Amino acid sequence: MNPIEISTDQFLRLAERVTQLAAEYLEHIDTQAISPATSGEQTISLFRTAMPEDGMGEEALNALPEVMRSSRVQNGRFFGYVLGSGEPVGAVADLLASVINQNVTAWRSGPAAVVIEQTVVGWLGQGIGCPEFRGHLTGGGSSANLMGLAMARETKAPANEKGIVAGGVVYASDEIHMSIPKSVALLGIGRGNLRLIETDDSFRMIPEALEARILQDKAAGKIPLAVVASAGTVNCGAIDPLRQIAQIAQRHGAWFHIDGAYGALAAVADRAKFDGMELADSISLDPHKWLYQPLDCGCLLYRSPEAAQKTFAHSGEYARSLNADRVEGFVFFEESLELSRRFRALKLWLSLRYHGVAAFRQSIAKDLAQARRLAEAIQKEPQLELLAPVELSAVCFQHRGVGRRPEEELNRFNLAVLNRVVKRGRVYLSNASLRGKFCLRACVVNHRTKDADIDSVIPEVLAAAREIG
């Protein structure tokens, strides 16, 4: 017997121990402090050990409770970042996906996995009002945005064979996610050719400013490669005027990509917020945000599989498909940057089958309503100020401080408030910056959040402010 193999009985014991730990975690999740009582030095002393030469057997699992004690708890009062809440049915599916270990690169290497992924991608397109789109799952919105812009570059200024064509320009709002500047750098377009278009009082891209900048660049001999609109900015959830931007992009021959990693899946519950999304050439989504899936589970949708194949098709002889059948000859790597790909679709497929899309629609609507509830409460509290409209579920606000403080001092005070809130452990907020103002930011993309959790935010912020004086 190979020394790495274990018996079925051993596997059952391991799985039972891990399942028991997970069940206890879920049972007590609401009573736990969100931030672990640990430090960088403590985690290094616990986990940065020498590689074991000899195995410990089942004793190796004895360290798992400490791993959990040193991890952030994602209960209903976790409002940090834009991060889904790890729906348990999906987590169960992830265990099975790891055991059967399918490489979802082509039908021949994972027949069920490929068809299930194609199925859930179709469900996602249908759910947001883009039923004719095709695509694949990714590690997250950043990789989906990178591949969407790669398709834009190869469609508008082909570079795969002869190299980058100088003069290509990408347009996005000044609230765009950091993955877009990263993508234009990695694609050789250069961040100097990324035009950040100003936003209005609601932090939405101004279409007239976009068109003026495109006209200016075209007059200078530049090539508009792509326009990137946000379907939910990472700071405050602003949704750009998608239809107007789509028309401008089409008028000037630019690819229209929508970064919908945060917000686009809210269209499952409120389609009207996203008018014009169906006009995109490509869209990034993150089911590990607003479909609550365990990490990682992103998605890239696109209108043209031919454009994806033109961008990504390049295979060695060892990987070439030997089957002309429409189903059995399908290969994901001809439409994607990735070759080896894990079975990400199983958790989403099982979760949607188990709960039904109506349950997700209801949960997303609940998140949207809870964000509005928090915003309304902030507006009624004299010590706090709402700093942006609440379009989706991100609520940006600030403590006014005592007296008339300069903005820089008020920013430092709110940073101290945030640190104290997190240290108290009852509520977890993150931060954002809007027009130079440091914001306390609560983002609700959590199926566990209750109204009582929302109502605990303001008391925690006010208590933290009193503690630091």
DSSP for 82-96, written as a single string: T-----HHHHHHHHH
Strands in 239-376 per DSSP E: 255-259, 282-285, 298-302
Across 105-113, average pLDDT: 94
Q: What is the pTM of this model?
A: 0.95
- What is the mean pLDDT of the segment spanning 394-423? 93
Backbone angles phi, psi at 368, to 5 degrees: -60, -45
* Residue 165: pLDDT band with limits 50, 70, 90: confident
pLDDT exceeding 90 applies to what percent of the chain? 91
CA distances from 29 to 16, 68, 302, 342, 448 (A): 19, 11, 38, 29, 10
Q: Is 405's pLDDT higher than 90?
A: no
Question: Can you give the pLDDT at residue 246?
Answer: 98
Burial class (CB in 10 A: 0-12, 13-18, 19+), 101: exposed
* pLDDT confidence bin for 394, thresholds 50/70/90: very high
CB atoms within 10 A of CB 328: 14
Q: For residue 317, what pLDDT band results from cuts at 50, 70 and 90?
A: low
Higher-scoring residue by pLDDT: 16, 327: 16
d(CA 115, CA 96): 17
What's the average model confidence in pLDDT over 149-178? 95
pLDDT, residue 404, reads 76
25 to 14, 64, 425: CA distances (angstroms): 17, 12, 17
Over range 164-175, report the average pLDDT: 95
Instruction: Indicate whether 1 pLDDT > 80.
Output: no
Residue 189 half-sphere exposure, CB side, CA atoms within 13 Å? 29
* Phi, psi (deg, nearest 5) at residue 69: -65, -25
Tens digit of pLDDT for each residue in 342-352?
999 999 999 99
Q: Using pLDDT thresholds of 50, 70 and 90, give the confidence band for residue 26.
A: very high
Q: Quick one: pLDDT at residue 329?
A: 87
Is a pLDDT exceeding 70 seen at residue 134?
yes
- Could you tell me if 422 and 463 are in contact, meaning their C-beta atoms sit under 8 angstroms apart? no
Task: Give the three-class secondary structure for 98.
Answer: helix
Going from the C-alpha of 241 to that of each of 109, 110, 230, 258, 399, the distances in angstroms are: 42, 40, 9, 11, 30
Q: Is 424 helix (H, G, I), strand (E, B) or coil?
A: helix
pLDDT at 324 over 80: no
Beta-carbon neighbour count of residue 267 at 10 Å?
23
**Side-chain half-sphere exposure of 129, counting CA atoms within 13 A:** 18
Residue 81's closest CA among 452, 434, 343, 432? 432
Span between the terminal Cα atoms of the chain, in Å: 66
d(CA 213, CA 176): 17
pLDDT of residue 78: 96
- 147-156, 253-262, 384-393, 399-408: least confidently modelled range: 399-408
Mean pLDDT of the chain: 95
pLDDT at 403: 76
53 pLDDT exceeds 80?
A: yes
pLDDT band at 328 (very low <50, low <70, confident <90, very high): confident
* Dist. CA 238–CA 232, nearest whole Å: 5
Res 325: pLDDT: 81
**What's the one-letter identity of residue 75?**
N
Band (319; pLDDT cuts 50, 70, 90): low
Query: Which pLDDT score is estimated for 318?
Result: 55
For residue 88, what are the CA distances in angstroms to 23, 93, 111?
10, 9, 25
pLDDT, average across residues 77-97: 95
